[in-house]
């Protein structure tokens, strides 16, 4: 049955129900494992799905971290070292990626805990996930607290990219389905995306064409 939810309805929802409801209503989101290393060399790995394109020149990516009212090892490492990695999750890594969200102690490595391997690329400070098929290394350019809810916006510049270039089109488009990159809805529902079509750049009074 179709229903309209008001702000009062949303506010009255049980906390966990509301979190699932709002997290899933926005739709499919990118899924990445964020790799960091502390100043003392302790490795950390955590799943993030609030990641978005900010700009291509320079190549900037935004990421939302939850409030640091409790220990956020990823956020702390990024603030102190300025380096982190984004690692796409393919279907064979989903269970391990999900498990990295568990609250491990600061001295525990999620890599070791879930059975993923670390990889160092070009002496980049933060660790990459060896099993991932698309990996990005980023350096922080701006960190901004969001006063509305205590979350933190992190904007990083991409300085390293590692992937097999077999599935990069002549115009630079990357078909993520060929890499098996998964997507997520809410906090615990994982999907295998499928490419429907690519369409030409829209212009007034000109018909769209499909890009092959």
Which domains, ranges and CATH numbers included, belong to the chain? 30-193 (2.30.110.10)
Which residue in this structure is represented by tokens 């309209």?
A: 4
56, 44, 53, 54: which is closest to 85 by C-alpha? Answer: 44
pLDDT of residue 55: 95
- Pairing, β 32-37 against β 83-88: antiparallel
Query: What's the first-to-final CA gap in the chain, in angstroms?
Result: 40
- What pTM value is reported for the model? 0.91
- Dihedral of the alpha carbons of 139, 143, 146, 151, in degrees to the nearest 10: 50
Give the whole-number percent of the chain exceeding pLDDT 90: 78
Angle at 44 between CA 41 and CA 45, to 5 degrees: 150
Per-residue confidence at 92, pLDDT binned at 50, 70, 90?
Answer: very high
């Amino acid at each position: 049955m179709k229903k309209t939810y008001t702000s009062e309805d949303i506010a009255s929802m049980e906390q966990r129900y509301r979190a699932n409801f709002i997290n899933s209503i926005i739709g499919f989101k990118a899924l990445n494992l964020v790799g960091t290393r502390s100043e003392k060399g302790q490795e950390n790995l955590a799943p993030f799905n609030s990641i978005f394109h900010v700009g291509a020149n320079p190549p900037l990516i935004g990421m939302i971290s939850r409030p640091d009212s409790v220990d956020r090892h990823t956020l702390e490492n990024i603030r102190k070292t300025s380096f982190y990695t984004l690692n796409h999750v393919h279907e064979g890594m989903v269970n391990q990626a999900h498990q990295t969200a568990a609250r491990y102690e600061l001295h525990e490595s999620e890599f070791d805990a879930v059975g993923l391997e670390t990889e160092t690329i070009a002496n980049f400070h933060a660790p990459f996930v060896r099993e991932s098929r698309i990996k990005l290394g980023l350096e922080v350019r701006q960190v901004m607290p969001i006063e509305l809810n205590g979350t933190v916006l992190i904007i990083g510049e991409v300085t390293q990219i590692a992937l097999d270039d077999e599935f990069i089109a002549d115009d630079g488009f990357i078909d993520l389905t060929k890499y098996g990159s998964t997507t997520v809805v809410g906090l615990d529902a994982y999907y295998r995306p499928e490419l429907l079509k690519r369409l030409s750049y829209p212009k007034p009074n000109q018909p769209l064409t499909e890009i092959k």
